[in-house]
């Protein structure tokens, strides 16, 4: 690793474009507060990239961008991609997918947690207790076919799903570890539920078999499975009953947007892409060209992604300061929207990107958000 002491971290900051630039600035204000409060030192290196970068230079990232990102302790990513700027074959510019594939970031961790004061989509009072995590497998599944699908003729096209034992074992072990850590730190039930379609497809029956074989090595964790169609229903009917939900890539793509819809929208949905050695942290949303440059983007997803980065650094680098800082950011967000009554524009309020970032930063810096 590039950093010598456990409380000094080298961060590759990749703000990207659109609202990625704006929410990254807000998250950086919070990380400055973390440095002041928790004695952590960040060495932040900015790496440009995205669709506009492609238009200007002919490449989506600088030549050494991928390598530099991989040398950092963690990658903090804003958003990249722009509707009108595409590759000659019409596909989107998405360096985040290249980073995921290059560094084998198989676990797409997408927490769905109700934030105090933020209206949930469900009227049931139990919705305030929504606290689950979708673990979207991010290197194979249906997306393994990205760029490789076949157009047979003008009447038929095919994409093929790939599920491997190796990645399913890693995904399951990761999910069990996450459920264990959540049980210890948040009192959640320690339950992992695989979401699949094993009644129809052989690849999913295989995935389920490997999942249960692997989960059996984690006897402290309860392992279940659930069909994806039933899960779509139950995420709306009783989302408060679920804990950690590993699933195939495309299922995770769809259900994590549904999950974000439950707790206020994309502006509140952080994510982490974790591999054996590297990890990237980014909001679940994209560049949102319709609101870019207006200062109204909700930076909460980005700020909570920075908290996930600190939590991961805390765990993998044995840094209690980083673990504490992660909890403080989460608590700062809760207090900003709860006690302080902040309302971002995406939930009908008038507080802008900078104001939300500053409020969370001030709560963290002052100690008002220190973990208990
Ligand atoms: P991508 O495919 O790159 O994920 P997308 O087409 O799904 O992008 P997003 O950029 O994620 O689109 O956003 C969809 C819409 O949601 C935006 O156009 C915007 O109106 C809204 N939105 C997304 N993120 C935020 C945010 N942080 N704050 C406020 N509104 C947001």
* The pLDDT value given to residue 3: 45
From the DSSP assignment, how many helices (H) and strands (E) are in the chain?
Answer: 11, 12
Six token digits for residue 121: 């989509």
Cα separation, 179 vs 194, in Å, equals 13
Task: Report the C-alpha dihedral over residues 18, 257, 303, 108, rounded to 10 degrees.
Answer: -100
3-17, 132-146, 233-247: segment of lowest average pLDDT: 3-17
Per-residue pLDDT reduced to its tens digit, 270-313: 999 999 999 999 999 999 999 999 999 999 999 999 999 999 99
Per-residue pLDDT reduced to its tens digit, 45-75: 999 999 999 999 999 999 999 999 999 999 9
Mutate to test the pocket of ligand 1, among 52, 288, 350 (most ligand atoms within 8 A of CB): 288
Q: Nearest-CA neighbor of 24 among 82, 88, 78, 99?
A: 78
End-to-end CA distance of the chain: 31
Contact 284, 271 (CB under 8 A): yes
pLDDT band, very low/low/confident/very high, at 1 (cuts 50, 70, 90): very low
Burial of 320 (0-12, 13-18, 19+ CB in 10 A): exposed
In the chain, the percentage of residues whose pLDDT exceeds 90 is 94
> What residues line ligand 1, using a CB cutoff of 6 Å?
19, 81, 266-267, 285-288, 290-291, 297-298, 301, 346
**355 C-alpha to ligand 1 centroid (Å):** 20
* The pLDDT value given to residue 71: 97
User: Which ligand 1 atom is nearest residue 80's CA?
Assistant: 3
Question: Any idea what DSSP says for residue 115?
Answer: P
Q: How many residues does the chain have?
A: 372
Task: Report the C-alpha dihedral over residues 121, 127, 128, 132, rounded to 10 degrees.
Answer: -100
Does 89 have pLDDT greater than 50? yes
Does 27 have pLDDT greater than 80? yes
Per-residue pLDDT reduced to its tens digit, 186-221: 899 999 999 999 999 999 999 999 999 999 999 999
The domains located in the chain, with CATH, are 1-106+271-372 (3.40.718.10), 120-263 (3.40.718.10)
Per-residue pLDDT reduced to its tens digit, 127-172: 999 999 999 999 999 998 888 889 999 999 999 999 999 999 999 9
**253 C-alpha to ligand 1 centroid (Å):** 14
**294 C-alpha to ligand 1 centroid (Å):** 14
Cα separation, 345 vs 257, in Å, equals 19
Contact 33, 370 (CB under 8 A): no
Per the prediction, the chain carries an average pLDDT of 96
* The pLDDT value given to residue 55: 97
User: Which ligand 1 atom is nearest residue 79's CA?
Assistant: 3
Q: Give every CB contact of residue 148 below 8 A, 6+ residues apart in sequence.
A: 159, 160
Average pLDDT for 166-183? 97
In the chain, the percentage of residues whose pLDDT exceeds 70 is 99
Does 4 have pLDDT greater than 70? no
Mutate to test the pocket of ligand 1, among 49, 80, 266 (most ligand atoms within 8 A of CB): 266
């Amino acid at each position: 690793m590039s950093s010598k002491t456990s409380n000094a971290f080298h961060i590759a900051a990749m703000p990207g474009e659109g609202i990625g630039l704006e929410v990254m600035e807000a998250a950086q204000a919070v990380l400055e507060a973390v440095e002041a409060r928790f004695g952590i030192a960040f060495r932040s290196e900015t790496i440009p990239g995205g669709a506009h970068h492609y238009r200007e230079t002919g490449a989506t990232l600088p030549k050494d961008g991928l390598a530099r990102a991989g040398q950092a302790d963690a990658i903090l990513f804003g958003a990249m991609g722009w509707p009108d700027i595409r590759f000659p074959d019409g596909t989107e510019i998405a360096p985040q997918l290249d980073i995921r594939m290059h560094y084998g970031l198989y676990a797409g961790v997408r927490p769905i947690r109700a934030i105090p004061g933020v209206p949930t989509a469900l009227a049931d009072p139990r919705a305030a207790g929504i606290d689950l995590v979708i673990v979207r497998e991010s290197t194979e599944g249906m997306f393994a076919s990205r760029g490789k699908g076949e157009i047979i003729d003008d009447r038929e096209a095919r994409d093929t799903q790939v599920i491997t034992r190796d990645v399913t074992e890693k995904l399951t072990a990761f999910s069990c570890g996450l459920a264990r850590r959540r049980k210890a730190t948040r009192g959640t039930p320690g339950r992992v539920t695989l979401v699949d379609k094993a009644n129809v497809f052989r690849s999913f029956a295989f995935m389920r078999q490997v999942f249960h074989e692997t989960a059996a090595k984690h006897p402290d964790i309860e392992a279940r499975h659930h069909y994806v169609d039933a899960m779509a229903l139950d995420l709306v009917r009783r989302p408060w009953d679920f804990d950690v939900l590993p699933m195939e890539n495309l299922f995770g793509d769809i259900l994590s947007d549904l999950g974000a819809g439950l707790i206020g929208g994309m502006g509140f949905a952080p994510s982490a892409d974790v591999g054996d050695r590297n990890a990237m942290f980014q909001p679940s949303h994209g560049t949102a060209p319709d609101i870019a440059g207006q200062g109204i983007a909700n930076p909460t997803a980005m700020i909570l992604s920075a908290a996930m980065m600190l939590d991961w650094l805390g765990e993998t680098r044995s840094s209690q300061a980083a673990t504490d800082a992660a909890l403080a950011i989460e608590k700062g967000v809760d207090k900003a929207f709860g006690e302080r009554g902040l309302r971002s524009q995406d939930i009908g309020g008038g507080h802008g990107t900078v104001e939300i970032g500053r409020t969370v930063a001030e709560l963290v810096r002052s100690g008002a958000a220190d973990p208990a």
